[in-house]
Amino acid sequence: MNDPNRSLYTVSEEEKYCFDLRGYLIVSNVLCPDEIEACNAALDHFSDKIQTLEAGSLSGGSSALTGSFGRRQLTGMLGWPTPYRKPFRQLLVHPVVVSRLNEFSGKGFRLDHGPLLIKAIKGTEGHRLHGAGEPFSPVVAYHQQNSKIYCRGITVAWQLADCGAGDGGFAIVPGSHKSNEPTPNEVRSVEDHLGLVEQPEMKAGDVLFFAETATHGTLPWTADHERRSLLYKYTSRGTARAVGKHFTPESRHGDWINELPREQQALFYGPGVHHGGQLPILESDGETTWVAD
Ligand SMILES: O=C(O)CCC(=O)C(=O)O
């Protein structure tokens, strides 16, 4: 939503309408330049850890998605030594995220995997579109009932560099999180996308929420500047995608998790709804985040 008068701090009816209709939502101007710089400086510090995927591994043979380079990516930020991990831990429970996810995924939502930095230089290939309402996928299914959204798989992508019109990067078929028909192969490959694929424009500091069940992927990067999107993959309380074996944060991640304040730890519990009241549940007014008593 780009209304300059809107409050960052509450989920408006318009935001709910847009997210439900399109399967994605952009909240603009969430991070200030200092916060963007703190993330980018930490990422630059660990640039020797960047992994470059093999060209062709994500574009899946599509002539529309092909590129000269594979995607660059980096993970592990939450466990980095201080001070580098700090901005990434803060984003995990950013009040703008907690307020939206309590609405879109329900209280007790969890971090399933990530954060993952996606970087691209000019000429980096795209990623074949994936996800769809059909076939039904229980782990990321989208449902709405009595004005309540139940989005089981939701990704929060912080933009650390601008994504202008035609730059490439994140792309989506708006509305496809509710589709009941199989997605044509040419739409997934973007070779004949029927005019349905959109590449939303975003600025550094914006945050994108998208339903994992929507048909989405990446267009080849065409801009002179580097792409930087930082993706946190959340799920609703009862759902696990990448990991589901361990319930407590320590058993999943090891001891560094004990350093985290309670509201950050809350994101790392395993899935399940019968937790005997042991689970810290996050609340947010959009301005601050806290653990409910
Ligand atoms: O932001 C992007 O490039 C798309 C990422 C993606 O496809 C995914 O997270 O599944």
Burial 149-185 (b: 16+ CB within 10 A, else e): bebbbbbbbbbbbbbeeebbbbbbbbbbbbbeeebee
Q: Which tens digit of pLDDT belongs to each residue from 65-98?
A: 999 999 999 999 999 999 999 999 999 999 999 9
Q: Is the CB of 155 under 6 A from ligand 1?
A: yes
Planar angle of CA 183, 188, 194, nearest 5 degrees? 75
The yes/no answer on whether domain 13-291 falls in CATH 2.60.120.620 is yes
Choice from 116, 163, 218, 234 to test ligand 1 binding pocket (greatest atom count within 8 A of CB): 218
User: Which residues of the chain, if any, have pLDDT below 50?
Assistant: 1-2, 5
Q: What residues have CB less than 8 Å from 5, skipping those under 6 apart? A: none
**Which tokens hold the place of 77?**
């930020």
For tokens 């701090």, what's the residue? Answer: 9
What is the pLDDT at residue 253?
Answer: 79
Q: Which tens digit of pLDDT belongs to each residue from 178-211?
A: 999 999 999 999 999 999 999 999 999 999 999 9
What's the predicted TM-score (pTM) here? 0.91
The answer to whether 2 touches 14, Cβ cutoff 8 Å, is: no
Q: What are the structural domain ranges in the chain?
A: 13-291
Q: Whose CA is nearest to atom 6 of ligand 1?
A: 217
Q: Whose CA is nearest to atom 5 of ligand 1?
A: 217
Choice from 113, 159, 170, 197 to test ligand 1 binding pocket (greatest atom count within 8 A of CB): 170
Closest ligand 1 atom to Cα of 231? 9
> CB 273: neighbour CB atoms within 10 A?
10
Choice from 216, 226, 228, 229 to test ligand 1 binding pocket (greatest atom count within 8 A of CB): 216
Q: Is the CB of 163 under 6 A from ligand 1?
A: no
